[in-house]
Amino acid sequence: MTFPPANFDPSIDPTADQVRELRDAGPDGPVVMLNLLKFREHANYPAGSPHAPCSGADAYRRYQTAFVETVGDVSHAEVVWEGQVDKTFIGDATQDWDKCLLVRYPSRQHFLSMMANAAYREALVHRYAGLERTILLQMRG
């Protein structure tokens, strides 16, 4: 597969400047990424895709499975917590979210190595297919 796939969505990817900032000025030591996820009702795979039609949540599960299976040895990522978001209690209720996911990496270099991994990049087709929008917050871990 060529990168980016035909369903590439730049709104859910870091910019080159954001990646450089993480590389050059991120925290030392472990980092935790807090993912807020809003899924598409129907996955948005490219035309002619070999992937069976599914919901956005199912497409994201395919991505998450590939993430664990294909780059676990590169990222050493640990899912600390994941769960369904029930409702917005405080804040902008128009920005509803379906799922929250906390992922811990031993270092920002592990996270960046994962992003550069060819197998990981191939799995992104599922992430792009499944997500309507996302917010990714980096924290010291």
CATH topology of domain 30-140: Alpha-Beta Plaits (3.30.70)
The pLDDT of residue 2:
66
Measured between alpha carbons, how far is 53 from 82 in angstroms, rounded to an integer?
24
In the predicted structure, residue 3 carries a pLDDT above the cut 80? no
pLDDT single digits (tens) 51-91? 999 999 999 999 999 888 888 889 999 999 999 999 888 98
CB of 65 closer than 8 Å to CB of 106: no
Cα–Cα nearest to 135, from 60, 56, 32, 36: 36
Is 80 exceeded by the pLDDT of residue 4? no
Indicate the pLDDT class of residue 1, thresholds 50, 70 and 90: low
pTM of the predicted model, to two decimals?
A: 0.89
Q: How far is CA 62 from each of CA 6, 67, 107, 123, 127, rounded to the nearest angstrom?
A: 17, 8, 25, 8, 8
Q: Return the domain boundaries, the chain.
A: 30-140
Prior bond of 27 cis (ω within 30°): no
Average pLDDT, the chain: 91
Mean pLDDT to the nearest integer, 112-124: 92
Contact in structure between 141 and 79 (CB atoms under 8 Å):
no
